[in-house]
Structures are given as structure tokens and as C-alpha cells.
């Protein structure tokens, strides 16, 4: 089995720049700021990002009036107690507002690397919290288990959170999935989980959203109303055979690009319908690493947030948050 070919089409995002830098111990991000999720509430933009500090990776908050200048507020989650599924990392969190409460689906794991960076290690689980406002405080809900990794399946290593939309009287989440084959190769894709209640378990569709050979992870969705299309943004995983192996899998894998897929149905995408929107060629400030995307309409443009590094180091630390733009309406390449 070989990874799928990269997209032949390109739709390069514009004006890439850094909008949030790591390195401030008072906000627990001295070792990195990455893995972003952006949403708007009452005219204020909220950015969740993984702050890598002394305690490990924690979901942190920054806010902005314009989506460009950000004010940090520090972690919004804390580590669980020993033995709990988020005892080593309570990080990457996607949100959904149901009209009354804010729901946070976040990544938890009891395993991290034994070094200063404390990079989260498999398994990645989806855990749940709730709040009355967009800034929290978030109340963890340990009794709510959205879904679990399943041994022997295409989501045996990872079943971590993703974008959520309401469709046909149910909620749909495009979650990150990963499995390891007999040769130790990790294969990644997205899966579809469904629920009619955000405070209970979800049902996972039997087949992944896209083939595991796509080697993609994480999801952000935008509905392009003029065309009636759903645009799916996700990061691709590549291999650099010349790089030193990177923990926790001690592989030479790294996030190299953001791909955009399109479809009229957010639960069905064709692997042929995709384009590169951000990569090292178009990112400007990040010469190699292009990480997890989050998209949001701001004015007449679509903002694409992602993490990267000002160096060509493919390691997981010392990332910053960048921003690039696509003009609306989007014209497919």
C-alpha cells in the first residue's frame, strides 16, 4: 500500500503571515503554539491553540477583535488526575454552540514523550467539556464518551476531535483517525461520527470518509453558499527521508501542506476533488512545516489559520500560528 498522490491542482492562499508566536512562560506556551481552532462569538474571535509548556500540551485561549491581532489568556483546560485519559495532555479542542451552551471536544491522552516537550502520544481520544460562554470556564464531562479507538480498525490509534456541523436532524463530526499496519506504518484519514445529542455517545460510520492512503488528519469545514459546496480543509502528512526521526513515533513524518476537498455533502468526499491551498511554496514564513488548519469567514475573505515553524526542523516543538487568506467566493482550480 502506497500513499495517494498529492493534488494536481493548486489554489494558493494569499498574504501568509505569523499572527501568534510562542515563547511566553506566563501563558504556558514557551515550547510551542500550534493545533488551532478558531470560532466567532458575539463579534469576538476566539482561538484555541495547543500551548506547550512545563506541564505538557494544554488547550489555551487567545481572543481578537479582527482575527489578526491576538491577546493571549493562557490554558483553558488542566491535566486530569493520574489514571485519567487526559492525565498527560488536554489539548486540541473544537467547539460547537447549540444556542444555549458551548461544547468543547478535546484531545486527551495519558501518554507523552519523556522529554521537555512532552509531545502527546497514542492513543488520542476525544473527550468532552461544556461551558456557558465561549471563554469558559470549561467543565469536564468524564461520563460523556463520544467514541473510542477500536482495536484492529482504521481508528485503532487515533479517534480525536474534528469539525462539527448540524445536518438532517443530527450532528456530524469529521474526526481524525489513524491505525498502524504490520510493518509499523501509520495510516491517517478522517472518519464520520454522528449523534442527535452532543452530551452522549456518537455512532461512527463503518468506512472512513476518505481512503487511509490520503494520509490526512484534522478537519475544518466551510460551506460556500454561492456554489452549494462544502469545503474541507485538512493537513497532509509527508515523509522526509533525510530528516532525523522525530518522537513519539520516531518517524520522519511531518505536516507538509493543507489540502482542500470539495463536495455538496459534508459526509461524502471524492479523493480526486482536492487542491493544495497552503504549503512551503506558498506559506512565506514557514519553509517546511505546515500544520493543522482552521478556517473562518472574516469579511469578504476566508481566513486560514495554521501552525508552522520559521526553521526547517520537522520536530513538534517551537511552532507559531500563521494566517493566510482566500478570496470569496472561491473559484475552484
Distance between CA atoms of residues 196 and 193, nearest Å? 11
Q: Cell 512532552 appears where? A: 118
Q: What pLDDT is stored for residue 25 in this prediction? A: 98
d(CA 324, CA 16): 4
- Tens-level pLDDT at each residue, the chain (333 residues): 999 999 999 999 999 999 999 999 999 999 999 999 999 999 999 999 999 999 999 999 999 999 999 999 999 999 999 999 999 999 999 999 999 999 999 999 999 999 999 999 999 999 999 999 999 999 999 999 999 999 999 999 999 999 999 999 999 999 999 999 999 999 999 999 999 999 999 999 999 999 999 999 999 999 999 999 999 999 999 999 999 999 999 999 999 999 999 999 999 999 999 999 999 999 999 999 999 999 999 999 999 999 999 999 999 999 999 999 999 999 999
Q: What is the CA radius of gyration of the chain?
A: 18
- Check residue 137 and give its pLDDT: 98
DSSP secondary structure string, 2-29? -PPPPPSEE---EEEEEEE----GGGT-
CA 297/CA 35 separation, integer angstroms: 19
CA-based nearest residue to 52, from 119, 108, 144: 119
The yes/no answer on whether domain 9-327 falls in CATH 3.40.640.10 is no
The whole-angstrom separation of Cα 28 and Cα 33 is: 9
Find how far residue 101's CA is from the centre of its chain. Answer: 22
- C-alpha grid cell, residue 322: 500563521
Residue 45 CB partners (closer than 8 Å, separation 6+):
38, 39, 63, 64, 65, 66, 67, 296, 298
* Distances from the Cα of 326 to the Cα of 14, 65, 230, 302, 323, angstroms: 6, 20, 15, 5, 10
Q: Give the whole-angstrom CA distance, residue 262 versus residue 275.
A: 9
Determine contact, residues 51/74, Cβ cutoff 8 Å: yes
Give pLDDT, residue 210.
Answer: 98
- 286: three-class secondary structure by DSSP: coil
Q: What is the pTM of this model?
A: 0.98
The dihedral sign for the CA sequence 64, 323, 118, 191: positive
Rounded Cα gap, residues 317 and 315, in angstroms: 6
Q: Which residues contact 54 (CB under 8 A, 6 or more apart)?
A: 25, 28, 30
The span from the CA of 259 to the CA of 69, in Å, is 26
Q: Are 166 and 186 a contacting pair, CB within 8 Å?
A: no
Predicted local distance difference test score (pLDDT) of residue 285: 96
Q: What is d(CA 226, CA 139) in angstroms, rounded to the nearest whole number?
A: 38
Amino acid at each position: 500500500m502506497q500513499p495517494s498522490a498529492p493534488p494536481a491542482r493548486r489554489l494558493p492562499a494569499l498574504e501568509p503571515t505569523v499572527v501568534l508566536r510562542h515563547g511566553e512562560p506566563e501563558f504556558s506556551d514557551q515550547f510551542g503554539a500550534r493545533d488551532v481552532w478558531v470560532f466567532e462569538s458575539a463579534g469576538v474571535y476566539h482561538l484555541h491553540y495547543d500551548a506547550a509548556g512545563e506541564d505538557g500540551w494544554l488547550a489555551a485561549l487567545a481572543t481578537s477583535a479582527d482575527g489578526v491581532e491576538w491577546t493571549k489568556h493562557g490554558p483553558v483546560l488542566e491535566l486530569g488526575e493520574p489514571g485519567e485519559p487526559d492525565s498527560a495532555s488536554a489539548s486540541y479542542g473544537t467547539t460547537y454552540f447549540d444556542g444555549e451552551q458551548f461544547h468543547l471536544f478535546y484531545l486527551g491522552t495519558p501518554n507523552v514523550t519523556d522529554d521537555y516537550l512532552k509531545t502527546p502520544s497514542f492513543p488520542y481520544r476525544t473527550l468532552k467539556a461544556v461551558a456557558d460562554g465561549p471563554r469558559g470556564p470549561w467543565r469536564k464531562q468524564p461520563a460523556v464518551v463520544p467514541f473510542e479507538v477500536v482495536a484492529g480498525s482504521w481508528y485503532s490509534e487515533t479517534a480525536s476531535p474534528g469539525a462539527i456541523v448540524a445536518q438532517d436532524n443530527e450532528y456530524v463530526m469529521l474526526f481524525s483517525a489513524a491505525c498502524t499496519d504490520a510493518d509499523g506504518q501509520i495510516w491517517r484519514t478522517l472518519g464520520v461520527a454522528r449523534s442527535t445529542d452532543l452530551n452522549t455517545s456518537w455512532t461512527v460510520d463503518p468506512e472512513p470518509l476518505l481512503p487511509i492512503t490520503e494520509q490526512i488528519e484534522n478537519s475544518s469545514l466551510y460551506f460556500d453558499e454561492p456554489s452549494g459546496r462544502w469545503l474541507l480543509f485538512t493537513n497532509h502528512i509527508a515523509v522526509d527521508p533525510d530528516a532525523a526521526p522525530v518522537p513519539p513515533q520516531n518517524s520522519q513524518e511531518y505536516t507538509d501542506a493543507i489540502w482542500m476537498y470539495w463536495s455538496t455533502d459534508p459526509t461524502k468526499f471524492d479523493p480526486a476533488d482536492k487542491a493544495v491551498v497552503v504549503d512551503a511554496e506558498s506559506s512565506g514564513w514557514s519553509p517546511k512545516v505546515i500544520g493543522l488548519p482552521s478556517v473562518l469567514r472574516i469579511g469578504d475573505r476566508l481566513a486560514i489559520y495554521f501552525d508552522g515553524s520559521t526553521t526547517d526542523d520537522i520536530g513538534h516543538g517551537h511552532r507559531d500560528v500563521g494566517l493566510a487568506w482566500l478570496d470569496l467566493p472561491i473559484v475552484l482550480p
